[in-house]
Amino acid sequence: MSGRHDTAATLPWMREGTAHLLAVVDKLGDDDLTVSSALPGWTRAHVIGHVARNAEALTRLANWARTGAETPMYADREQRSAEIERSAALPPATLRDDLLRTSAMLDDGLAELTTEQWQAEVRSALGRAIPAAEVPWMRIREVWLHAVDLDADATMDDLPSGVVDLLLDDVTVALSAKDGCPALDLVATDRERSWHLGGADATETVTATAADLAGRLTGRIPAPNRLVLPRWL
């Protein structure tokens, strides 16, 4: 079983990340929600609304795995965008409750899955066939990274070390498959391992903490101008 399908590890990380995100949101005043986030064109309310809608979308995948009835994450990109805009316009108290409610709904939906149902094939929003066991990992990326995107004191250093390592495993593979990906060796100063980016021999070595490397690859920490990376997701 690959790391991102190991629910014994990913479910606790998902729940820890959800609690972390909720704590970050709780510290924000209502007026703070209208402030721009670290994501271009989105306020903090947009980020929170997106995370709530993502919980609903992933719950649909959990239901798909449990019942066998196909329930895609979203009908299309237009639906997803429209739902986020509507969510961002909700009154602050309603938006906060929405985030809490949908997060709990997803947790409950995943808790119902049997060992066999965890292996049921569903599809990501990009149409990739995946086992339901990958859903907690998908949610982990959402809650931990979007907590950083709220630009409210949460940082990549908050992520558990296991999440950082698995994120680097995931992102390096995804980026390496894209056109224009540079060939780099990534050396973590706080790990006894490294990662490779790109399909060729490395032309350069990048050295930083594992959390900083993950932040650079996912766009949460600015990379040096000479290192132009493709978009991860």
Per-residue pLDDT of the chain (233 residues; tens, 9 = 90+): 569 999 999 999 999 999 999 999 999 999 999 999 999 999 999 999 999 999 999 999 999 999 999 999 998 888 889 999 999 999 999 999 999 999 999 999 999 999 999 999 999 998 999 999 999 999 999 999 999 999 999 999 999 999 999 999 999 999 999 998 999 999 999 999 999 999 888 889 999 999 999 999 999 998 776 678 888 87
Distance CA 82, CA 78 (A): 6
**What pLDDT is stored for residue 2 in this prediction?**
64
Q: Does 225 map to a domain?
A: no
Q: Are residues 148 and 69 in the same domain?
A: yes
Angle of CA points 135, 171, 147, to nearest 5°:
65
Q: Does 231 map to a domain?
A: no
Q: Are residues 135 and 169 in the same domain?
A: no
Q: What is the bridge-based pairing of β-strands 194-197 and 184-188?
A: antiparallel
Residue type at position 215 = G
Q: Are residues 118 and 178 in the same domain?
A: no
Q: Does 223 map to a domain?
A: no
Q: Are residues 210 and 195 in contact, defined by beta-carbon separation less than 8 angstroms?
A: no
Domain that residue 35 falls in? 3-154
The count of domains in the chain is 2
Nearest C-alpha neighbor of 86 from the set 49, 60, 134: 49
**What pLDDT is stored for residue 139 in this prediction?**
98
Q: Are residues 74 and 150 in the same domain?
A: yes
CATH number, domain containing residue 121: 1.20.120.450
Give the DSSP letter string of 65-105: HHH-----S-S-HHHHHHHHHHHHTS-HHHHHHHHHHHHHH
Angle of CA points 119, 122, 127, to nearest 5°:
140
Q: Of the candidates 123, 154, 185, which is a domain's last residue?
A: 154
**What pLDDT is stored for residue 225 in this prediction?**
65
